[in-house]
Amino acid sequence: MVTAITNLGRSGLYDWLIQRLSAVAMTAYIVFLVAYLVMNPELDYGQWSALFDQLWVRVFSLITLLSIVAHAWIGLWSVVTDYITPMTLGGKAVVVRVLAQVVLGVVAITYTVWGIEVLWGL
């Protein structure tokens, strides 16, 4: 079995499981937000702000943010390793693949830090 150091899990099974669990977390968050919006048709800024001042909503939002990043990383890692190959790019495939993964990693870290700053007001 080949284990790449740039994938999130240690094997395809772990990556698959992380993607499924992250999808469940994201779905639960979307259902929660849609239900809240439907139950509060006259929603104003004060109510919205009060909702996100609650610790459990911030934690739920943080879990969802981390789920989005993990889900996207695994999906994009799969796409990059499937489509940037020696057959498509010749000898430069490894360099292009690593560069693409570094760029995607920097973007993922940037969005994660930014999301934490927005959620926790840091």
Domains of the chain: 12-120 (1.20.1300.10)
83 is in an annotated binding site: yes
- At 85, the pLDDT band (50, 70, 90 cuts) reads confident
Q: Choose the weakest-confidence range: 12-16, 57-61, 72-76, 87-91.
A: 87-91
Q: What is the DSSP track for 24-81?
A: HHHHHHHHHHHHHHHH-TT--HHHHHHHHHSHHHHHHHHHHHHHHHHHHHHHHHHHHH
At residue 89, the pLDDT reads: 65
Helix (H) or strand (E) holding 16: helix 12-39
14 is in an annotated binding site: no
Look at residues 16, 17, 116 and name the one whose alpha carbon lies nearest to residue 63.
Answer: 116
Residue 25 · residue 79 · CB < 8 Å: no
